[in-house]
Amino acid sequence: DGTSAFIHIGDAQRLYQLGHDVEGLRLQLTDMFAAPQLLPVLAAELPEGSVAVSWSDSQGSLFQAVKMEKQMVRLLLLFIVLIAAFNIVSILSMAVSAKRGSIAVLRTMGSTPSSIMAIFIVYGMATGLIGLGLGLLIGVPLAQHIGDVVAFLEQLSGMQLFNPQVYFITHLPSHLEWSDVGVVSGFALLLSLLATLYPAWQASRVQPAEALRYE
């Protein structure tokens, strides 16, 4: 607001002595993300010597910064999911150690190594499903109402997270992409399955005679 003024186009042409010409033309598209693809087509329709620039070029540094932030957030979330997968591995490994006697009894009763392995895979997948369900139950409503949550915390603490004198926004907007939710959920289930394989394989290798020697 401190650097722009709106006047009649005729007055601007007289002020800059342009006659009936203009210095530039700005177009607004229905789909803003189609601008880079349509830029060459529009540039071909302009007079010779004209320069066509899309919003992704003029605001390139800002969007590069946003892109880098998104990549860092993805990396952090990946590490969080990997830590959760290692927790499943450790839980199942401790369960195998604690249940060696029970596994040996099942083996002596005729259970095959594959059936023992299937038991621990189901156990690990159940743990992963419970964690995924709780994560969706908490995460989806929080993502949809994060702006209200931030506003409540600002009102409670008396602090303002987004100062309008510094940032271009005064609240935290959110838009939930269900496709992202599906991809993350599928990746979490896949990691849960992979995390169960090694402990389940360990359980299937328990030898009944060795496990029951000191029982």
Looking at 23, 40, 58, the residue that finishes a domain is: 58
Q: Is the pLDDT of residue 211 over 70?
A: no
Let me know whether 155 and 91 are in one domain: yes
Let me know whether 95 and 171 are in one domain: yes
Let me know whether 161 and 83 are in one domain: yes
Q: What angle do CA 33, 38, 43 make, to 5 degrees?
A: 135
Task: Give pLDDT, residue 99.
Answer: 81
Task: Give pLDDT, residue 8.
Answer: 92
61 neighbors 168 (Cβ within 8 angstroms): no
Structural domain of 166:
64-211
- Of residues 16, 24, 28, the one with CA closest to residue 46: 24
| pLDDT tens per residue, range 88-123 | 888 888 888 888 888 888 888 888 888 988 988 888
29 neighbors 38 (Cβ within 8 angstroms): yes
Let me know whether 49 and 102 are in one domain: no
Residue of higher predicted confidence among 47 and 10: 10
Let me know whether 71 and 41 are in one domain: no
Q: What percent of the chain has pLDDT over 90?
A: 3
Q: Is the pLDDT of residue 171 over 80?
A: no
Let me know whether 164 and 142 are in one domain: yes
Strand ranges, E, within 33-167: none
Q: What is the pTM of this model?
A: 0.60
Q: What share of the chain is helix, strand, coil (3-state, %, to 5)?
A: 70, 0, 30
Length of the chain: 215
Task: Give pLDDT, residue 137.
Answer: 93
**Distance separating alpha carbons of residues 77 and 83, to the nearest angstrom:** 10
**Distance separating alpha carbons of residues 87 and 77, to the nearest angstrom:** 15
Q: Of 63-67, 70-74, 129-133, which gets the smallest average pLDDT?
A: 63-67
Residue 3 domain-assigned (yes or no): no
**Domains in the chain, number:** 2
Let me know whether 41 and 123 are in one domain: no
Task: Give pLDDT, residue 213.
Answer: 67
- Of residues 188, 206, 203, 211, the one with CA closest to residue 121: 203
